[in-house]
Chains A and B, each alone.
Chain A
Amino acid sequence: MSVDTAPRRVAKPRSGMVGSSQGGKWWLYVILTVALVAVVAPFVWMVLGSFKGEGELRQVPPTWLPESASLDNYTQLFDKLSFGQFFTNSIVVAVVVTIGNLVFCSMLGYALAMLDFKGKRFIFVAVMTTLMIPGVVTFVPLFVLVANAGLIDSLPGLFLPFLVSPFGVFLMRQFILGLPKDLLDAGRVDGAGELRIFWKIILPLCGPALATLGILTFLGSWNNFLWPLVVAQSEDRYTLPVALALYSTGQNSTNYGLLLAGATVVIVPILVVFLIFQKRFIEGIATTGLK
């Protein structure tokens, strides 16, 4: 590779970096493009495959473009396997979980960042400690708890345990700490109640943090799969990943076209959300370091 580039920047190997960083190196584009194709290819292949028939999917060597594209897989998915219901369940759970996190985490985040109260330090330390505990630790007792509350196989059983997250509090607190404290005093002088200050003055300024938390929470809930797998036991409570996981290992495990269509239904909505909010999303990842 370096041999090829040599003639392009002869005589100045030392300042090469400075010069080339302006235009970029063409071979880097080649490598990156190959890498991009490799990374994205599974998705492209998935979407194309979802329009193929069973026979074509079993062909060796595999084809890229469908020879005869049809929507059969999708009609079967929604007519026979009630993916519409699963889709609705996924949406409902994700929306409730997201709203819960936005409201409750910003409330506590504000209290921790701006207000003074007894027990503040204790709450903060407790929340931060659990941030490090892996999910597998709480899994069994959580299941026992939800089972004893009679919430197995119910929508509340799916979303209640996720309405708040230590991470959300951390994110909101860090953001609100950066806002000027004068805002509070100003509101108080105006005679606004403490809760009104939070609602009317602080929250409207939290847009970027709320957006980040909202996107991350929605995504996490949409893709969450282990918890709904054990809690949703009858078909009309399945979320999309649960249905797909069960079908891909159960009776339909050899119906590839159907599975690829199912995978597309799970992935594409989140891809669309991601493409709309990607800038904010990536900023959020970069600043919080968590997905």
Chain B
Amino acid sequence: MTAHTGTTGSPTGPVTPPPAAAPGRPDDRSPRGAGDGGSRTSRGRGTARAREGRAAWILAIPFCLLFLAFTAWPVVQSLFMSITDTRARDLRKPFSVNIIGFDNFTKALSDPIFRKAAANTAYFVLVGVPLTLVLALAAALALDKGITRFRAIFRLGFYMPVITSIVAVAVVWRFLLQDPGGLINTVLGWVGISGPNWLGDPDWSMPALIIMAAWRNFGTAMIIFLAGLQAVPAELHEAAAIDGANAWKRFRHVTLPLLRPTMLFVMVTTSIGYLQVFEEPFVMTKGGPLNSTMTVSYYTYQQFGFGNYGLASAMSYLIFVVIAIVTAIQFRLLRERT
């Protein structure tokens, strides 16, 4: 503890020189290895550096090994698998597979069910992302500027669906969506609407999943919007109000431009998540009825289940490519005007 004060410049030790004396030891200013005390020779500093490197690697090794085995290797392996005809029975003899080039990719792209799944996924993303974002932004605006009391309770309640298990949620929602007798159609009945057979009707199954996904995910986006809204200074709003801007104009011309980075972030993360939509159809509809809720991720999983590992890998890379493209486009569109 004695030498401590010298380096940190803390004024506690009366014997040590004040912070101003620090420049007197020029090696204290050097970026690395300075902490070993000025008395060391340059050779001593070299070993300190080596020691630092060694320590860093000791700290890094456990992560790196696990990461190599369970993330990096599978990524590479998946790329290799996608150009082979690997099937489940090849598991034990990995050298018996044949390299078939891009056959898996062309096979996937010409498969009518895969195309249907791609269209369904697009539907889910194009409707689901705006719906989720609008709900989230509305809730965030209301909680940020509209009300002053009970904020925490509303925030907590809106966030609750996010933390719950999709499997458990599905049990409840399948029940709520029942026709007849489900809670949702009962409530719709009160206002004179006869609700559809949500999960049994190919036209309504996807909307049902989209509503459920929006319900489950808008809380995350809301929290991030709330954080973004903190950065919008109240004075700007007041100034605009004095200038005669109404609430909508203030939102449009003050809040929205300042929220653009947050918007980009939320949109990108939500889109990435929704492009991979898998759990909702898996637990709610198994892709049915009539493949109306078959998504690309779910179809990929099915191919994996059938043992078509090569084909499934190719499909997963197609998803990855689409995600990369969509993300790039969103960055372009939203960044341009900032």
Task: Give A residues with C-beta under 8 Å from B.
Answer: 14-18, 21-25, 28-29, 31-32, 35-36, 39-43, 45-46, 49, 58-62, 100, 103-105, 107-108, 110-112, 115-120, 123, 126-127, 130, 132-145, 147-148, 160-164, 166, 169, 182, 184-190, 193-195, 198, 219, 222-223, 225-226, 240-241, 244-245, 248-249, 256, 259-260, 262-264, 266-267, 270-271, 274-275, 278, 282, 285-287, 289-291
Contacts and interface: CB of A to CB of B under 8 A. Distances in A.
A58 B67 CA distance: 49
B136 to A, nearest CB: 12
Given A62-B183, A142-B70, A120 B56 contact: yes
Contacts, number: 325
B63 A189 contact: no
Contacts of B159: 278, 282
A225 B279 contact: yes
Given A141-B73, A290-B269, A189 B37 contact: yes
Given A21-B145, A24-B148, A285-B224, A270 B172 contact: no
Given A43-B160, A144-B91, A263 B172 contact: yes
B8 A140 contact: no
A42 B176 CA distance: 8
A291 B162 contact: yes
B316 A244 contact: no
A189 B6 contact: yes
Given A137-B319, A241-B168, 13 more contacts: A25-B146, A28-B147, A32-B139, A32-B142, A35-B139, A42-B169, A60-B180, A166-B71, A188-B36, A260-B175, A274-B160, A275-B156, A286-B226
Nearest to A183: B8
Contact of B320 (A137, A285, A291): A137
Given A182-B8, A226-B279, A198 B59 contact: yes
Contacts of B238: 18
Interface string B84-107: 000000011000000000000000
22 contacts: A17-B247, A29-B147, A36-B157, A39-B158, A42-B176, A49-B175, A60-B180, A61-B186, A62-B183, A104-B66, A116-B49, A133-B320, A145-B74, A166-B67, A186-B4, A194-B51, A241-B168, A248-B283, A263-B168, A274-B160, A275-B156, A282-B223
Given A36-B158, A145-B74, A270-B165, A24 B146 contact: yes
Interface of B: 1, 3-4, 6-8, 28, 32, 34-37, 48-49, 51-60, 62-64, 66-67, 69-75, 77-78, 81, 91-92, 139, 142-143, 145-150, 153-176, 180-183, 186, 215, 220, 223-224, 226-227, 237-238, 241-242, 244, 247, 250, 265-266, 269, 272, 275-276, 278-279, 282-283, 286, 297, 300-301, 304, 309, 312-313, 316-317, 319-320, 323-324, 327
Nearest to A108: B63
Contact of B163 (A115, A137, A219, A241): A219
Contacts of A120: 56
A249 B281 CA distance: 13
A29 B151 CA distance: 10
Given A40-B157, A244-B168, A142 B74 contact: yes
Contacts of B237: 17-18
A115 B52 contact: yes
Contacts of B183: 41, 45, 62
B63 A289 contact: no
B168 A190 contact: no
A144 B251 CA distance: 52
A105 B56 contact: no
Lowest 8 CB-CB distances: which A-B pairs, in order? A194-B55, A188-B35, A185-B35, A286-B227, A263-B168, A117-B56, A141-B77, A138-B74
A14 B176 CA distance: 45
B223 A285 contact: yes
A62 B181 contact: yes
Scoring A23, A41, A286 by chain B CB atoms within 10 A of each residue's CB, the highest score goes to A286
Contacts of B91: 144, 147-148
A39 B157 contact: yes
Contacts of B34: 185
B168 A266 contact: yes
B191 to A, nearest CB: 13
B310 to A, nearest CB: 9
Contact of A140 (B81, B164, B269): B81
B73 A266 contact: no
A131 to B, nearest CB: 10
A62 B186 contact: yes
